[in-house]
Amino acid sequence: MKKISIAIDGPSAAGKSSIAKIVAKKLDYVYIDTGAMYRCVGYYCLQNNIDLNNETAVSAILKNIKITMDSNNRVYLNEHDVSDQIRQDEVSMSASLVSSYQDVREFLVKQQRQMSNVGGVILDGRDIGTVVLPDAKLKIYQNASVETRAKRRFLENKQRGLSADLETIKKDIEQRDYQDMNRKISPLKKADDAIVLDTSNLSIDEVVNEVLKLAKQREMEG
């Protein structure tokens, strides 16, 4: 069977990355964490006191950013492991903001397409099926209720030893949903040919099995 490209889109904290990582391992695919790439840009700006609301200033620092990932899903910014730091809520909001800038999107989309040329890849984000890989063989729009997503992010933060307040996280998710869906450049939306997968009442195993079933169907179709 021929390996395919899989695009998983959806709002913040919908569990896209968790599912994509597991599915990639089971299929022996390459997982490309596109959300982490935007988080790296936001994190770099925060660490270097770059005004996130100044699009020109953010665009100017892109030349200083090098993002790499390893087989263990660790994320490196200029050769420093920032896998945990970029998951903080403050970084999540900064990622949403910088992702609205055209230069940032072009900078990262170019890299994402280059990384996908090998085939047998799975990417998750906000605009994978609509912009980054519009010809992906399998497109999934993964969603869950705001309440479910807030609880998931709350537990993730607690497990990482990060400060966590459920109501604050819920408000942050609602704000990010609005930002992502209403930005002018590549807003979050379901691709016309994407399969909607609501994970609110599904376990991780149930979601993984559903994605695997869909992927194998597409592989057989060639």
Beta-bridge partners for 8: 124, 140
Quote the CA–CA distance of 163 and 185 in Å, as a whole number.
32
Flag whether 200 is marked binding.
no
24 is in an annotated binding site: no
| Measured distance CA(12)–CA(69) in Å, rounded | 21
Q: Does the annotation list 71 as a binding residue?
A: no
Neighbours of 115 (CB within 10 A): 15
Cβ–Cβ < 8 Å for 151, 145? no
Residue 94 is assigned to a ligand binding site = no
Tokens of 86: 């970029």
Contact between 150 and 13 (Cβ < 8 Å): yes
Identify residue 106 by its one-letter amino acid code: E
150 is in an annotated binding site: no
State both tokens at 17.
């990355």
For residue 12, say whether it is annotated as part of any ligand binding site: yes
Q: Report whether 18 belongs to an annotated binding site.
A: yes
Binding site residues, as ranges? 10-18
Binding site residues for ATP, as ranges? 10-18
